[in-house]
Amino acid sequence: MFVAWFEANRQYVGGRDLTYAEFPTRFTYEKKDKQWQPRKLGYQIGRLHYTPIGIWELYYMRILLTVELYYMRILLTVKKGCMRYRCIKTINGHTYGTFQEARSALGLLDDDREFIDGITEIGELGSGHQLCWLFVHLLTTRTMTSLDIVWDAAWQLLSDDILFERRKRLNILDMRIGGDDLKNMCLIEIEMLPNAADMPTFTNRLIIDELNFNKVELEKTHADILLMLTDEQRCVHDKIMESVGSDDNGFFYLYGYGGTGKTFIWKRLSVAVRSKGLIVLNAASNGIAALLLPGGRTAHSTPTVPFEINEALSLTMEKDSPRADLMHAAKLIIWDEAPMMHRWCFEAVDRSLRDIMSKNDPLNALKPFGGTTIVLGGDFRQILSVVRGGMRPDIVDASVNSSKIWAYCNVLRLTVNMRLGASSVPAEQEEIANFCKWIVSIGDGNDASGDNGEMKVEIPEDSLISDTTNPLMSLIDFVYPDLNDNLGDQLFFQERGILAPTLDSVEHVNEFMMSLIPGEEKEYLTSDSIFEIGLKLKVGCPVMLMRNIDQANGLCNGTRLTVTHLGKSTIAATGQSLSRVGVIFLSPCSRMDNFMPLSLE
Ligand SMILES: Nc1ncnc2c1ncn2[C@@H]1O[C@H](COP(=O)(O)OP(=O)(O)OP(=O)(O)O)[C@@H](O)[C@H]1O
């Protein structure tokens, strides 16, 4: 295909202002003749296959090949009108020996210099511990090519805290530690960071983390909480706690529409179990829901449900691994927003728990979820599992209540909308009640008409924007009143968001909102996407994390952050989540795909 692209560029002037990925917009590829011909009709977009940077464990020649392919792919996102291979490596009239050199010459980020600069830059802002965290992040994302060069240049900054901590702890202010010892201590600290739980240690840190609560304080909180529960909530609470305290396992589904207090119950159950010194694992099917749970994580990270699932899947967990030991020790597993996940995920957890729990008692292999008490929750009216190309029956089939394990499920219900009690103003209460009734009736399909899965829904006048001259500004004024006065307020952005149906609208809203935020805009070019425009950010602008980076610290897909620093090679942001305000996340700029700006959900 490349040869044909070079040939077409030689032959036709009309494609020389296009990158390789843009070429299909004006040309079509004739498979038979292996030639690009000017397009007569229609419009198509092109796509460059993803090429990983390489895996260090692979032998040398293979690394070279993958690394070069990776850099060539990056150059192809910007080079236009190439007529031969060496044109791709030619920058400002000079032909470089390798694609990697050409790419560095072009000023695109992502060579190892960037990481050294980034660590040095952030060294002025963050602590040594935070730098170690950043280094581990670079390691686990396999972004660096010459690990030893980055380590040699950065280890002193990374070990900055260690000497200070030792001096403080031992009260020896002039204590000295030799270079090699300091390096080793720093490596030990790095080893203790993410995934440390999977490394052999004398104690299982995962279990220690889950037991790291003040039992006495929790006991007191639990007593207060019990007084707050409504009758039906108390009934749910007691049934589940009864199961936690007995040998008979329980598999429950807590069903209730929005606002009936499911999250409220999760929090109370967590306190109840932890106040007894027992382990509860809180998982949710997405990052946002996970943030609402105490110590919550996404299901993909807690019981390690892999992202690629299939019917026969079991969890990739050795019976004697620390994760398996944690699952074994857990007395209760809470899994929120269950309807969003494919039934195969629950079936996989069921199989794995039967396997893990049969270690002590073979009879557990016969019990659902190996005898562990598990509570799923969520509203089937909300988002269901996404089945690619699937029709209604496929989606229904993917649902947890279509699974064979559903036969063992004890369905509990919450029916009273507790959100209505949030306001003490009667007029507001009535307004909320009407809105809730309307939303529920849409979920039940009562107010809708139409065939083929398409429905017409009438939206009440007061929920619409009537300003037709500048509707976006009206929307922003409504959702983010006094935007500029609230920019420093961590919670302001946590409580609101604008939903948009397409990525185009998202971009449009973002661009407009960014223009309203004062300060200098900084643009970061992406080094691994075909988009021409990179990410534009300003200090103070809210962003949403698009990856699970450090779930234990609440840095997971969906976490909202505020940008605090825009460096040449790094971006820092603080967490907006109530319990996690103050966490600083440091990102290497070349991984722009970690972030998405502003008001998106
Ligand atoms: N017993 C209670 N006493 C006081 N407030 C309560 C009680 N139960 C629930 N609430 C409050 O009602 C509101 C809705 O509860 P919650 O968010 O737990 O509902 P939910 O079922 O999880 O809703 P959704 O499905 O929309 O996430 C929250 O503000 C919560 O604090």
- The answer, yes or no, to whether residue 586 has pLDDT greater than 70, is no
Residue 403 has a pLDDT of 92
Atom of ligand 1 nearest to the CA of 267: 18
Angle, vertex CA 187, rays to CA 186 and CA 192, nearest 5: 95
Is the pLDDT at 231 greater than 50? The verdict is yes
- C-alpha–C-alpha distance, residues 584 and 108, integer Å: 26
Whole-number mean pLDDT of the chain? 76
Of the listed ranges 121-125, 181-185, 480-484, the least confidently predicted one is 121-125
Which residue's CA is minimally distant from atom 1 of ligand 1? 229
> Is the Cβ–Cβ distance between 337 and 380 less than 8 Å?
no
In 522-559, beta strands by DSSP E: 522-524, 535-537, 542-545
pLDDT reading at 445 higher than 70: yes
Ligand 1: centre distance to CA 347 (Å)? 29
Model-level ipTM above the cut of 0.95: yes
Q: Is residue 233 lining ligand 1, measured as CB closer than 6 Å?
A: yes
Tokens linked to 135: 């280094």
363 lines ligand 1 (CB under 6 A): no
Which of 539, 544, 536, 535 is CA-nearest to residue 493? 544
Residue 585 has pLDDT above 50, yes or no: no
The tokens of 471 are what?
């509707």
Q: Which residue has the higher pLDDT, 294 or 470?
A: 470
| Residue 376: predicted pLDDT | 93
Q: What percent of the chain has pLDDT over 90?
A: 9
pLDDT value of residue 139: 75
Dig out the tokens for 505 from the structure: 């609208």
Ligand 1 pocket test target in 234, 380, 419, 435 with most atoms within 8 Å of CB? 419
Instruction: Give the range with max mean pLDDT: 212-226, 242-256, 372-386, 399-413.
Output: 399-413
Confidence of residue 48 (pLDDT cuts 50, 70, 90): low
**Predicted confidence band at 44 (pLDDT cuts at 50, 70, 90)?**
low
Contact 292, 262 (CB under 8 A): no
Q: Which of the pair, 299 or 46, is modelled with greater confidence?
A: 46
- Ligand 1: residue whose CA is nearest its atom 28: 419
The pLDDT value given to residue 143: 66
From the CB of 514, is ligand 1 less than 6 Å away? no
Domain with CATH 3.40.50.300 in the chain: 209-416
The rounded distance, in Å, linking the Cα atoms of 412 and 239 is 9
Q: Which residue has the tokens 């449009």?
A: 508
**What are the tokens at 281?**
């694992």
pTM here is 0.57
Indicate if the pLDDT at residue 62 is higher than 90: no
The per-residue pLDDT for 233 is: 93
- Greater confidence (256 vs 294) lies with 256
Chain segment 114-144, per-residue pLDDT in tens: 778 778 877 777 777 778 877 877 776 666 7
**Is the CB of 550 inside a 6 Å radius of any atom of ligand 1?**
no
- Atom of ligand 1 at shortest distance to CA of 379? 25
Ligand 1 atom with the shortest distance to the CA of 230 = 1
The pLDDT of residue 253 is 95
CA of 443 from ligand 1 middle (Å) equals: 19
State the Cα–Cα distance between residues 386 and 391, nearest whole angstrom: 10
Contact 78, 19 (CB under 8 A): yes
Tell me which H or E stretch contains 253: strand 251-255
Pairing status of strand 535-537 against strand 251-255: unpaired
**Range from 27-41, 288-302, 377-391, 444-458 carrying the lowest mean pLDDT:** 288-302
Q: For ligand 1, is residue 378 a contact (CB within 6 Å)?
A: no
Q: Which CATH superfamily is domain 209-416 in?
A: P-loop containing nucleotide triphosphate hydrolases (3.40.50.300)
pLDDT given for residue 173 in this prediction: 74
What values do phi and psi take at 377, rounded to 5?
Answer: -150, 165
Least confident span in 66-75, 311-320, 501-510:
311-320
Highest mean pLDDT: which range of 2-16, 71-85, 165-179: 2-16
Is the pLDDT at 331 greater than 70, yes or no? yes
What's the number of CA atoms in the CB half-sphere (13 Å) around residue 492? 17
More confident residue, 278 or 212: 278
Q: What is the pLDDT of residue 202?
A: 40
- pLDDT of 57 strictly over 70: no
